[in-house]
Amino acid sequence: MAYGCAADAVDEYLRHGESTAISCLEHFVEGVIYLFGDEYLRRPTPEDLQRLLDQGEYRGFSGMIGSIDCMHWEWKNCPTAWAGQFTRGSGKPTIVLKAVASQDLWIWHAFFGPPGTSNDINVLDRSPVFDDILQGKAPKVNYFVNGRQYHLAYYLTDGIYPKLATFIQSINLPEGDKACLFAQRQESARKDVERAFGVLQARFSIVKNPALMWDKVKIEKIMRACIILHNMIVEDERGGYSLYNVEEFTQVQANRTSHVDMTYSTDIPSNLTNVMTIRNSLCARTTHDQLKEDLVEHLWNKFGTTQDYN
């Protein structure tokens, strides 16, 4: 997993064949998922969510809990019958991973399996990232931006994603000092998920190199195990470095404007009317535009006089 070598690369040295090496790998990843999956591929706890909100507030994005994007893993031994749906253009077959990552590179959400012909929007439609919100089970988040209160946390994305109330993109061709500052800060913070993909591939070359398995289920288990081990490393190394001025971060925690309420109603009937009502609030373009305008003003008030944004 770490070096991404072929299964028979060390058969003479270790005295076991290719099939034995593959079997050991399969048993190892299943063991990792069984023992550590519930802890290291979990939903954010109240403490985790509050910490993510504090980090976002420190960076100027109150209510932000991470960035979201997709990564393609090449599938070398893709069955010929499936090659058409897993191949985009004249490239090679790939499988898509959609992930949400925070600044410390912890991967909070991973959805793996869509074919390579899918773009980010198609994968988003199939992803369960908003299932808890639609079912009324998501924690309530309250925060203020530019003096206005909001109740939905959001992710930072690139320009291909739709303008939902839970997505904030950069400004294309920004004009004016405020827009330039917002674009610079948003694009810098959005790179968290790109960095997480890069570190994941650097630590586990099996994810960087083309997948040699024939079975898609086994490939999915390998990806899940790599993400779990990646999060374990992030947790182990989290105390060894700091990206913040501790005094300033402590002041942010003391004067926080965001709050997490983990009490939610489980008596909401999951009928079509309620689901569509929540979905309409997620897709509200007016909420997206208003939040973006407030973030532009908030970032300018926070960093406009202390940073060179040109």
Distances (CA, A) of 200 to 1, 41, 182: 11, 15, 28
Q: 125 is written with which tokens?
A: 């439609």
The pLDDT, as a whole number, for residue 225 is 96
How much of the chain exceeds pLDDT 70, in percent? 86
The pLDDT, as a whole number, for residue 264 is 43
The pLDDT, as a whole number, for residue 283 is 84
Degrees to nearest 5, angle at CA 20 with 13 and 27: 120
Average pLDDT over residues 191-207: 94
pLDDT in tens, 247-268: 555 555 555 666 665 444 444 5
The pLDDT, as a whole number, for residue 152 is 86
Task: Classify residue 109 by burial, with Cβ atoms within 10 Å: 0-12, 13-18, 19+.
Answer: middle
Distances (CA, A) of 180 to 188, 304, 308: 12, 10, 10
3-state DSSP assignment of residue 297:
helix
The pLDDT, as a whole number, for residue 46 is 81
Whether the Cβ atoms of residue 193 and residue 100 lie closer than 8 Å to each other: yes
Closest CA to 193 of 110, 292, 249: 110
DSSP output for 147-208: TEEE---EEE--TTS---TTEE---SS--SHHHHHHHHHHHHHHHHHHHHHHHHHHH-HHHH
Structural domain boundaries in the chain: 11-303
Whether the Cβ atoms of residue 54 and residue 253 lie closer than 8 Å to each other: yes
Q: How far apart are CA 55 and CA 63, in angstroms?
A: 9
The pLDDT, as a whole number, for residue 256 is 62
Sign of torsion over alpha carbons 107, 108, 113, 114: negative
What's the pLDDT band for 130 if we cut at 50, 70, 90? confident
- In sequence order, the 6+-apart residues with CB closer than 8 A to the CB of 47 are none
What's the pLDDT band for 223 if we cut at 50, 70, 90? very high
What's the pLDDT band for 16 if we cut at 50, 70, 90? confident
